[in-house]
Amino acid sequence: MPAQSKLEAGSVRPPTAPLTERQEARRRRILQATAQLASRGGFDAVQMREVAESSQVALGTLYRYFPSKVHLLVATMQDQLEHLHGTLRKKPPAGDSPGERVAQTLMRAFRALQREPQLADAMVRALTFADRGVSPEVDQVSRRTTAIILDATGLDHPAPRQLAAVRVIEHTWYSALIAWLSGRASIAQVQVDIETVCRLMDLTDPQASSGAR
């Protein structure tokens, strides 16, 4: 298994107390060091000892924050998405329909990841390797992605069918990202796929939802 885990596969960590300001600053340094190492050398460049040294924390302390490399990289992806979400909120998409706005948003997210392909590959590989022991971190990534998509729709009260469409869009976006990272899809193909699936937001409106009952 590529991850250097301190947990048994499938184990679940107990809930932790909120971080103090000092602990949060330490966690921030760890995530920044991880992103820098991954940007330079991808998944294999992120080694726990190197991350500890780069972030100036003891190796044992690093493992208390992140029990494995997979935990660390999935948390890094959540952090990157959180930063991206803040940027998107400052300059929201301007499409006429929810589908157009979501497509614009996801392509902006894709281009942000495209600028750091080694980092993007490392984070996506970590998501692929994640087992049940990494479920809390994976769930945070999914929730943040969902929030980014919902913000782009501009819908205050999305209907159940629209929420289902959001889930399909999220799955397609990650699949398209994997296909591009693996060289199986061009940027143009990614854009076509994203624009196509985002039309679901315009097909699954509240009236269509009520009419299907």
Please give the single-letter amino acid code of residue 193: D
- Least Cα distance to 105 among 156, 150, 162 occurs for 150
| Per-residue pLDDT band at 206 (split at 50, 70, 90) | low
Residue 8 has pLDDT above 60, yes or no: no
Burial class (CB in 10 A: 0-12, 13-18, 19+), 94: exposed
pLDDT at 156 (0 to 100): 81
More confident residue, 7 or 116: 116
More confident residue, 86 or 9: 86
- In angstroms, the CA 162 to CA 140 distance is 21
pLDDT at 205 (0 to 100): 64
The chain-wide mean pLDDT, for the chain, equals: 87
Most confident of 10-14, 87-91, 99-103: 99-103
In which residue are the tokens 């990272």 written? 181
Instruction: Average the pLDDT over 150-169 and give the result.
Output: 91
What are 41-88's pLDDT values in tens digits?
Answer: 999 999 999 999 999 999 999 999 999 999 999 999 999 999 999 999
- In angstroms, the CA 155 to CA 182 distance is 34
**Percentage of the chain lying above the pLDDT 90 cut:** 74
pTM: 0.83
**Residue 17 to residues 14, 20, 23, 24, 136: CA-CA distances in angstroms?**
10, 9, 11, 12, 14
- Least Cα distance to 104 among 194, 197, 193 occurs for 194
